Amino acid sequence: MADPQDRTAWLRQARFGLFVHVGLYSTLARHEWVMSNERIGVEEYQRYADFFDPDRFDARTIARAARQAGMGYAVLTAKHHEGFALFDTHLSDFSSMAACGRDLVAEFVAACREEGLKVGLYYSLIDWHHPDFTIDHQHPLRDHPDAAALDAGRDISRYRTFLHGQVRELLTGYGPIDYLFYDFTYPWQKDGWAGKGPQDWDSDGLLAMTRDLQPGVVVNDRLGIPGDVVTPEQYQPAASPGQDGPTLVWEVCHTMNGSWGYDRDNQAFKPPDLLVRMLVETVAAGGTMLLNVGPDGRGALTAQDAASLRALAEWMSLHRQSVVGAGAADFRRTHGVVMTQRADRLYLHLLHWPLKHLHLADLGGRVAFARFLHDGSQVRTRSSGAPRAGENYQLAHITPGEQPPGTLTIELPVVRPDVAVPVIELFLRQSPPG
CA torsion through residues 307, 311, 314, 320, sign: negative
Minimum distance from residue 242 beta carbon to ligand GLC (Å)? 18
Extended strands (E) in 67-151: 73-79, 118-124
Question: Angle at Cα 337 formed by Cα 334 and Cα 339, nearest 5°?
Answer: 90
Rg for the chain (alpha carbons), in Å?
25
Q: If DSSP codes are grouped into helix, strand and coil, which group holds residue 67?
A: helix
Minimum distance from residue 48 beta carbon to ligand GLC (Å)? 17
Minimum distance from residue 88 beta carbon to ligand GLC (Å)? 22
H-helix or E-strand spanning residue 213: helix 203-213
Minimum distance from residue 322 beta carbon to ligand GLC (Å)? 26
Q: Measuring CA to CA, how many Å separate 262 from each of 22, 207, 252, 300, 342?
A: 8, 30, 20, 10, 36
Nearer to ligand GLC, 253 or 312 (CB): 253
Q: How far apart are CA 206 and CA 187, in angstroms?
A: 17
Extended strands (E) in 294-392: 327-328, 337-342, 345-350, 357-360, 367-372, 381-383
Q: Which residues bind ligand GLC (CB under 6 A)?
A: 32-33, 183-184, 233, 253, 260
DSSP 8-state code for residue 68 = H
Q: If DSSP codes are grouped into helix, strand and coil, which group holds residue 290?
A: strand
Extended strands (E) in 21-101: 73-79
Nearer to ligand GLC, 159 or 186 (CB): 186
